[in-house]
Amino acid sequence: MISSISRVRRLAAVTAAAGALLAAPLATSAQAASAPATSAKGAFMMNSTTGATLYGKYADTRRPLASTAKIMTARVVLTTPGLDLDKRITYKQAYTDYANNVGGSQAYLIPGDRFTVRGLLNALLTPSGCDAAAALADNFGKGSTQAARFADFIKQMNAKAATYGLKNTHFDSFDGNSPIKTGTTGTYSTPREMAKLAQYGIKSATFRGIVDGAGTATAIAPNGRYRYYSWKNSNLLVRATSDGGYGYPGAIGIKTGTNTPAGHCLVFEVTRNGKTVIGVLLGDTNTSRYPDAINLLNWTYGSGAAAASQRANTDPIPDVLD
């Protein structure tokens, strides 16, 4: 997340907004008329169980992702054959240097500390640490140099996207901060495909357990003593109102993202009344991201829009955890 966009810890109070639904072929006319408008450039809501579309706004238009790309970073790690979540990885100064160079958000990990893979995933997903992303990419990529390992990890991300059938998704970074250089394709996806990626990601018990609340890690410091890290979740939907969040009922996660090309992004999942939905907002504003999400969720659960589309998912997600 790049600091050129102002950070807002406590967003404005949510107000109801009514507007025209731009693309929801499965909703009725009455529901479309009452669907809330969003400030996001692209948005999508789906039934997580069936894959049915509930709401769409430029759902198939490619847009930059910022740190929501870290969903795929975590997915690559969690699907690594023979993964040991308790394996220790020594954190290097080079990872902090990377995060500083791209202007990304950090978990502020201390060089020399030895983290478990699980701890680094907490640092990646909860405070959205680009430093943790670099550590994971360097240790789960293949190659004789850091640059080669970074490149291989990104290659794995794109291979995974192809496996999932995400034809409008591409990564050229493991943290959503695309390098600025000639020939760079960019890190992008569509709201619809990000919802599908989130549907895969949330199947992991480890992933779900991390994005659902605060993050923690216990590292072994160079002197052999334990160092304890804790982070607040950057997603205000899952944080209590007493902790500067919204405490939205049933919110599970999933990931925030903010940088200059992408604007403010949010991928979220909520379960209420036995129904689970996944939402995606790409290119929103700093004051509208959470109000937009909440208005869409309230509309989805309150208007009967979820019941209006019962199309079976033609590409079911395999029920395999990490």
Collapsing DSSP to helix, strand or coil, 253 comes out as strand
58: nearest Cα among 189, 175, 190: 190
Choose, from 41, 57, 105, 128, the residue flagged as catalytic: 128
Task: Give exposure, 257-284, as e/b (b: 16+ Cβ within 10 Å).
Answer: bbbebbbbbbbbbbeeeeebbbbbbbbb
Active site residue 128: yes
SS3 content of the chain, % helix, strand, coil (to 5): 35, 20, 50
Give the DSSP letter string of 10-32: SPPPP-------SS-TTS-HHHH
Choose, from 67, 105, 178, 288, the residue flagged as catalytic: 67
* Helical pair 146-163 and 70-78, crossing angle rounded to 10 deg: 90
Count of residues making up the chain: 322
Q: How many CB atoms lie within 10 A of CB 90?
A: 14
Give the DSSP letter string of 40-67: SSEEEEEETTT--EEEEESTTS-EE-GG
Contacts of 19 (CB under 8 A, 6+ apart): 35, 36, 37, 38
Active site residue 234: no
Choose, from 70, 92, 203, 255, the residue flagged as catalytic: 70
Active site residue 189: no
Q: Which residues are catalytic?
A: 67, 70, 128
